[in-house]
Structure 1
Amino acid sequence: MHRPENKLLRQLPQAARQQLLGHCELCELSLSTELSVRGQPLRHAYFPTEGFLSLVIDVDSHPALEVGMLGAESMLGSELVLGLAATPWRALVQGAGAGWRIGTNDLRAQCDALPPLQKLLQACLLVRLHQQTLAAACQRYHLIAPRLARWLLMSQDRSRTESFHLTQEFMALMLGVRRVGVTEAASLFQDSGLISYHRGELTVLNRKALEAEACSCYAADKDIYQRLMHVGA
C-alpha cells in the first residue's frame, strides 16, 4: 500500500531526511484549522503528506483573498530560512489531511546542520515568490471562468481525488469575486459535463476539458515548480 509522502522531504538525502524527521512529529490537518496567524510568529513549520492549505490575506474590511495554495509538493514555513517568523498571510487547512510538524527553532537548527535542507527551503521560498507574483497577475487580467478552472485543477492535484467538498461561498472567497460570478462559471462547467456539483460536493468529470478551460497560469504554475525545484510534476 502506498504511503503518502511529502515531495520536498523525498528530495533530501536519506540520512538528512531521517535526521530531520527525528525532530518532527506527525499531526492531523483538520479542515478550516488556522496554522498561522498574520503578523504573529510561526510556532511550527508543516510538511503536508495529505490535504492542502490556502494562504489568505486580509485587507481592510474586504473579504479574505487566497494568495497561495500548497500541499504535499511544498511546505508551510520556508520563510524561516531567512530568519523570519511572522507572515503577511493566514494559513488555513482547505483540504483535511496529515503531515509532519516541526518547531521553528528546531527547523532553523536543522537548516544550519543540514545544508541540503537549507538549499531545499530556499528553492521552496523562491517557488512561492514566483507563484504568488503569477497569481497577482492572474487575478488582475484573467476572467472568472478560466481562473475557476485553474483553481479547481490545483485543488484536485493536491486532494488527489476526483471529488471534494467546496461551497460556492468558499470558491468566491478564494477567487476574490462575488458569488454570482462563481455560480455562473460553475454552472457553465456543469452544463458542459466538466464537473458535477450538488450541495457543496464537487466532482471533476472531464479533467482534460477542464484543463482546456483553465487560464495559462495553471500550466505556468506547474512549470515554475518543475524548473525551480528540479523535479517532475
Structure 2
Amino acid sequence: MPATKPAPAVNRLIAALPHPERQRFLAGCEPVTLAFGEILAEPGAPISHVYFPTESFISLTTTMNGPARLGLLLVGDEGMLGISLILGLNRSPLHASVQGPGQALRMEAAQFCRALERGTALPGLLKRYLYVMMGQLAQTGVCNRFHLLEARLARWLLMAQDRAHSDCFHVTHEFLARILGVRRVGITKAASALQNRKLIRYHRGDIRILDRGGLEASACSCFRLDKSLYARIME
C-alpha cells in the first residue's frame, strides 16, 4: 500500500528530547515489530513494557457490557503506551491492542522508571503528553455523546490515517462498530455515505482515503481540537 510520506525514523516524543538525553534513552530501547491484533495491555494488569510506536499504532479501549469495548484513543508515533508509570502506578487502566502493525521501540517498565528518575527533560515532556491524553479522552466522551456517527467515523479514519502514515489501512465494519459503540448496520450506512461522496474507497476491510480535505470537512470538530491541543502543548 503506497504511503503518503515516509514513516518517521523515531517516535516524536523521543525525538523531542535533547540530544544527549535522547541517545541515553534510545540505548535502553529495543526495536520490535508489532503484529495486527496483538494485545499489549489489559485493564488492571501489571505493565511489563512501555511502547513508543514509530510506524505502528495502538488502539486504547475500555470495557463496557461484558466483552464489548469502546474505543477511546489511538496512539501512534506522537505518543506512547504505559504513561501511567509517570504517576507511580504500575497498572494499565485500559485495554491496548495493535490496530496498525509495524515497528515500535520497547523498553522494560523498570528501566523506564529509572530513566524518569535520572532524566531532566523526559519527566516534563511526558507530563505534558499525559495532559494531552486527558484532554483527548474528554473530547472523545463529548464526541461519543453528541456527534453524528458519520462525523465520528470520519474523525476515526483521519486519526488512523495520520498514525498509519498511509492512505490505505485495514479495518473491518465489525471492528468499527465495536470501537464506536454502534450497530454494524450503522457503520455500513455511514461508510457507504462517505464512499458515495468519493471520500473513501472501502472493500473487504481495506480502506483507502481518496479525499483528505473532504473527509476533514465531514469530520466533527473533535478531530481539529485534538490536533490543536497536541500542537499547543507538545510542539
Normalised by the size of structure 2, how large is the TM-score? 0.95
Partner of 1:73: 78
1:218 maps to amino acid: F
- Residue in 1 aligned with 2:29? 24
Paired residue type of 1:110 = A
Q: 1:137 to 1:160 in 2, by over 3 A?
A: same
Q: Is the 8 A contact 2:7 2:55 kept in 1?
A: no
- 8 Å contact 2:7–2:54 — kept in the other structure? no
Paired residue type of 1:202: I
Q: CA deviation at 1:62?
A: 5.6
Distance 1:2 1:136, change over 3 A: closer
Match of 1:106 among 102, 111, 128: 111
The answer to whether the 8 Å contact 2:32/2:103 transfers is yes
Q: Which residue does the alignment assign to 1:52? A: 57
Alignment-derived partner of residue 61 in structure 1 = 66
What 5-or-longer segments of structure 2 have no aligned partner?
Answer: 1-5
Shift of 1:197: 0.6
Name the CA distance, whole Å, in 2 between partners of 1:3 and 1:127.
21
Q: 1:2, 1:131 → 2: CA distance?
A: 23
- State yes or no: 1:214 paired with 2:194: no
Note closer, same or farther for the CA distance 1:182–1:9 as it changes in structure 2 (3 Å cut).
same
* TM-superposition CA deviations, 1:31-85 (whole Å, max 9, x none): 1001111101110001111110000111232611111111001111122111011
- Name the count of aligned residue pairs: 230
Q: Which residue of 1 aligns with 2:92?
A: 87
Cα offset for 1:2? Answer: 7.1
Distance 1:223 1:107 in 2: 28
1:179 matched residue in structure 2: 184
Superposed structure 1 runs of 4+ greater than 3 Å apart: none
1:91: Cα distance to partner? Answer: 0.6
Structure 1 vs Structure 2: percent identity of aligned residues? Answer: 43
RMSD, matched Cα: 1.2
TM-score, length basis structure 1:
0.96
Distance in 2 (CA, whole Å) between partners of 1:225 and 1:160 is: 17
The more displaced of 21-30 and 138-147 is 21-30
Q: Which residue of 1 aligns with 2:141?
A: 136
The whole-number CA distance in structure 1 between the counterparts of 2:186 and 2:9 is: 36
Q: Deviations over 1:174-211 (max 9, x none)?
A: 11111111100100011111111111111111110000
- State the secondary structure of the residue aligned to 1:186: helix
CA distance in 2, matches of 1:2, 1:67: 24
CA distance in 2, matches of 1:60, 1:161: 34
* Long gaps (5+) in structure 1: none
